[in-house]
């Protein structure tokens, strides 16, 4: 009798399990709010550059509350997985040791005046790093990492009749003046879904600083959801996988103009759909 009941329960639950598996097909696993493929009338992948020193972005970069500070600390604590590229696939993961190696300032003179977390070797939030890395190693400070690259999908949802920007990944860039070769470098990329979960887990810390009304400061995750940032388009998906700067022969003015045009195209596309 017991065996019969067990078999009956298994048969009863099997259809629900298969249904749950079927429902996952057609959704992007990296999306915080996934939209089924069958509901996507239009989709375009967009790459943006976000300068944290820009006035509109400074709330993400408040003193001792930089978004880069929370990201680095999360990697150190094993709470966040870094990736080598913005594809953020499992085969592109990097170790915590590799991440810290990239964060280390590599100079013959030992790092210069800007190299350390501070003179006293204190905590991150108090202007210094721990001494565990050794006195000969100095690391780039979070407030020096002022450039992010954002990867997102612009999707027109034909069920809700509006455009959505589905963030996929964020890459922390290393400024050119902090690298040995004088070229801009990449620290690591992160799945935005992981970052969103990290920010939600610290609602009182990871906050977008409202300089006009501190009582209305919001979580970083909400700030991204509400599009409270400014980030210029520097690349859209294309067969040659070229950015706008390369497409226009390295002409910065033409690339900037093209970036603005791409932004207008997205707005115009959504507007024109409402005309029908």
Is 206 a residue whose pLDDT tops 90? yes
3-state SS, residue 45: strand
| pLDDT at residue number 108 | 56
Residue 97, strand partner residues:
none
Asked whether the predicted pLDDT for residue 104 surpasses 90, the reply is yes
In whole angstroms, give the CA distance from residue 165 to residue 49.
Answer: 15
> Is residue 9's pLDDT more than 60?
no
Read off φ and ψ for residue 59, nearest 5 degrees: -60, -20
pLDDT at 80: 98
Q: Which residues lie closer than 8 Å to 212 by C-beta, 6 or more apart?
A: none
Closest CA to 98 of 114, 115, 80, 84: 84
Residue 147: which of 86, 83, 68 has the closest Cα? 68
Q: Which residue has the higher pLDDT, 28 or 7?
A: 28
* Cα-to-chain-centroid distance, residue 230: 14
Mean pLDDT of 96-118: 69
Looking at residue 133, its pLDDT comes to 47
Residue range 20-42: average pLDDT? Answer: 83
Residue 27, number of CB atoms within 10 A of its CB: 12
DSSP E strand stretches across 27-111: 40-51, 61-62, 65-66
Q: Where are the domains of the chain?
A: 40-104+140-273
Rg (CA), the chain: 22
pLDDT at 115 over 70: no
Least confident of 6-15, 103-112, 202-211, 259-268: 6-15
The three-state (H, E, C) secondary structure of 159-218, written as one string: CCCEEEEEEEEEEEEECHHHCCCCCCEEEEEEEHHHHHHHHHCCCCCCEECCCCCHHHCE
CB atoms within 10 A of CB 89: 11
Q: Mean pLDDT over residues 171-199, rounded?
A: 95
């Amino acid at each position: 009798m017991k065996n019969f009941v067990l078999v009956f329960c298994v048969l009863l639950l099997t259809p629900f399990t298969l249904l749950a598996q079927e429902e996952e097909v057609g959704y992007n696993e990296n999306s915080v709010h996934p939209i089924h493929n069958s509901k996507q009338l239009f989709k375009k992948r967009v790459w943006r550059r976000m300068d944290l020193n820009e006035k509109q972005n400074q709330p993400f970069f408040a003193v001792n509350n930089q978004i880069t500070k929370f990201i680095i600390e999360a990697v150190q604590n094993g709470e966040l997985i870094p990736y080598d590229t913005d594809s953020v696939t499992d085969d592109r993961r990097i170790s915590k040791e590799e991440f810290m190696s990239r964060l280390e300032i590599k100079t013959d003179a030992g790092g210069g005046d800007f190299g350390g977390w501070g003179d006293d070797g204190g905590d991150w939030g108090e202007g210094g790093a721990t001494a565990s890395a050794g006195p000969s190693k100095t690391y780039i400070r979070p407030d020096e990492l002022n450039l992010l690259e954002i990867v997102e999908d612009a999707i027109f949802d034909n069920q809700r009749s509006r455009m959505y920007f589905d963030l996929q990944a964020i890459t922390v860039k290393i400024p050119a003046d902090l690298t040995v070769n004088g070229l801009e470098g990449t620290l690591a990329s992160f799945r935005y879904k992981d970052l969103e979960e990290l920010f939600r887990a610290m609602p009182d810390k990871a906050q977008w600083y409202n300089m006009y009304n501190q009582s209305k400061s919001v979580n970083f995750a909400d700030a991204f959801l509400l599009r409270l940032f400014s980030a210029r388009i520097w690349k859209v998906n294309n067969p040659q996988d070229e950015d706008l700067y390369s497409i226009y022969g390295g002409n910065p003015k033409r690339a900037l103009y093209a970036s603005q045009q791409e932004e207008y195209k997205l707005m115009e596309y959504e507007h024109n759909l409402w005309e029908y």
